[in-house]
Structure 1
Amino acid sequence: MVTAAADPTPQTADAQPWGRVDDDGTVSVREGDDWRVVGQFPDGPPEEALAYYERKYSDLASEVTLLEVRHRRGGASAADLRSAAKAVSAKINGASAVGDLASLDARVAALTETLSAETETEAAAAREAVDEAVKVRTELVEKAEALAARDPRTVQWKQASAELSTLFNEWQSQQQNGPRLPKSTAQQLWKRFRDARATVDKHRREFYAELDEAHKEVRDRKTRLVEKAEALAPKGEEGIAAYRELLDQWKTAGRAGKKADDALWARFKAAGDALYGARSERETADAEASREKIAAKRELLEEAKAVPDERDLAKARALLTGIQRRWDEVGRIFPREAERGLDDDLRKIEQSLRTREDADWKRNDPEQKARANDMTRQLTEAIEKLEDELAAAEKSGDKASIAKASEALEARRGWLRALGG
């Protein structure tokens, strides 16, 4: 009988061998105080037989070490490692191998116990993850249902479609990357989401169908306005008033869709541009014809500068009247801005002369003179009286009376000077 001289695992304190080979080639492993037959190796020397079964032990030890390393490094779930540990434990139990099987089994058992606790933690975390996923998907469902519940007439459909698309993408992301939900819960939530999505799609189709019909009516209405505007072309500038009426109708006609609106407006505007173009051509011709008139009126303005310098009002009025007559004979001027500027300059000269005439009339009006003389007489009498009062106050030394009489006297003298007295 030959016993094992070496073992890849630490030996026990008594350093007894873990395996032996009988003379008939039977190989046994020591388990405590007993020996268990693990196989036969009759065709080779005992050392080779032991080496063969020790290699099997080394393979088992490597599997245990690998499990421990995977656990330390993390990444694998505790449940998966626990399942792998169970499989390795089954291999160790009654294994056809020579070595410290009990030590390997103890290591696996210790790892299994640790994994059991971690599995419970993972299970709790998984339940929390499922609860959170249910909450998230429920929120997605409620948002979709809120979109479906809105009045289709008030919805901005481009924005609503984008929102629904975003919700659906988030739903798919949850399905692909989130935890698996219980089947009944997942089906119930999906049914609600699908129904809300179908409702939104139905409302959108109905809205755009109604919008298309409304656009068709507006398109027909605006087409008729365009045709009327284009028919004004032969009238030229005289058609502008009618075109403006059509423009007012255009503004209240509604929307026919961007593409149709742009095309119809281009035609409508072109018709208006033709009418305004005719007026522009006429104004250009008028402005060209007004050049000589402008020069003539400017010459009249130069003559009119002599009016303010003429001291004799009758001669000044005669000079201005002659200029005004020739001014009217020159006729209208275009553009109107130029005419208004020239008229304003002449009007200033007219106003200046009128002011002089009004002042002269007031000075020479008998009634005005009589009133002025009466006022002068009254002021003179009042001044004489106040002078006597001032003299009496100065004689008595009454300062208050002196101040009062002086102030009143100065005021009356000022009024008299204003009257030319």
Structure 2
Amino acid sequence: MNGTLPKKQASELWTRFRAANNHFFERLKVHIATQQATAGSPGTPASPEDLLARKRALAERAEALMSVPPQEAIHQAKALQAEWKQVGTVRGEESDRIWQRFMVACDKIFELSALEYHLRKRVGGEAATSPAERARFRASTLRELLKDDQQELEVLRDNLDKLSPSAANDAFRQMLQTKIRSFERKIRTKNDLIALFSQQAQAAS
């Protein structure tokens, strides 16, 4: 205040300035609190929307690993799985859809890593040189591995069908059901990768 304004006008201006100043800092406090919740600040519970956003970001990062070399991708996928466990629980259809995305993406990375390991150990190695040949070779190798998975799945299902409904078999039944679900996922993932490599081979031809 330079003393040239009437006292009443100066007071009004000061009041308006304080109100605007307080409004600004109140909004800043809300913004900081939101950022802390999003970052998982201790003692500040994140909202379901924040948790879904984090999980969605993890799913996108897992899907992006398809363009990373398998040996590096598998380490990153495991790190993402560890991050996922640190995010709070969110219930609902959207959360389930994000979980499916994340799970499918990680499954593909693990299957690709297993495929590359199999190819390195294979007698004669990989003779294919062009991108189209490499893609076709991987698709055909996955088809071979898929047959083993399908046979194993049939055995597991047969064992489950023959298992007595006795309560004494509950633990063994649960183990069989868990293995069946695991092989069903492996088969779906291999089929997805076969389709992907087939498209790549066609595009590169």
The bucket for the TM-score relative to the shorter chain is: 0.3 to 0.5
Structure with the bigger RCO (C-alpha within 8 Å, sep 6+) is: 2
Pick the structure with more helix per residue. Answer: 2
Larger radius of gyration: 1
The structure in which a higher percent of residues are strand is 1
Q: TM-score of the superposition, structure 2-length normalised?
A: 0.35
TM-score by structure 1 length?
0.18
